[in-house]
């Protein structure tokens, strides 16, 4: 499984009341579970700044991550950015296989 980080900014028209956040969350969770089998949600954060949420999930591949983003975009009328992520320990292992840079 690959780890993905997704930033989401929702359209103001999507959120008609404070309760809208919870309703949208339930709808998206149901649809991701149904339409994106194998995706495992790890964490969600509300963030300040130009985006509303930062979510971390695992998926088998980029195609599965695309499906998650498409659901968020269509159901939440949102803008998403998805980045693949690697745990720091694994990153050091990968980088450790590189040859030293020579000047």
Q: What global pTM score does this model have?
A: 0.85
All domains in the chain, ordered by first residue:
2-92 (3.30.70.1060)
**Which tokens is 48 given?**
């300040």
Helix (H) or strand (E) holding 75: helix 62-75
Place 30 in a pLDDT band, splitting at 50, 70 and 90. very high
Q: Tokens in use for 42?
A: 């790890």
pLDDT digits over 52-93, tens only?
999 999 999 999 999 999 999 998 888 999 999 999 999 999
Q: Which long-range contacts (CB under 8 A, 24 or more apart) does 12-19 make?
A: 13/77, 14/76, 14/77, 14/78
Residue 101: its pLDDT value, please?
Answer: 65
Q: Are strands 40-46 and 78-85 parallel, antiparallel or unpaired?
A: unpaired
Q: Which residues of 39-77 are buried (b: 16+ CB within 10 A; e: fewer)?
A: beeeeeeeeeeebbbbbebbbeeeebbebbbebbeeebe
Crossing angle between the packed helical segments 19-35 and 62-75, to the nearest 10 degrees: 140
């Amino acid at each position: 499984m690959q780890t993905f980080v997704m930033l989401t900014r929702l359209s103001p028209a999507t959120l008609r009341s404070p309760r809208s956040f919870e309703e949208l969350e339930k709808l998206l969770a149901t649809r991701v579970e149904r339409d994106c089998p194998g995706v495992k949600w790890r964490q969600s954060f509300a963030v300040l700044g130009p985006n509303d949420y930062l979510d971390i999930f695992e998926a088998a591949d980029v195609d599965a991550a695309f499906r998650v983003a498409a659901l968020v975009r269509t159901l939440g009328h949102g803008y998403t950015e998805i980045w693949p992520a690697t745990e720091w320990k694994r990153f050091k292992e990968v980088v450790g296989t590189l040859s030293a840079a020579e000047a």
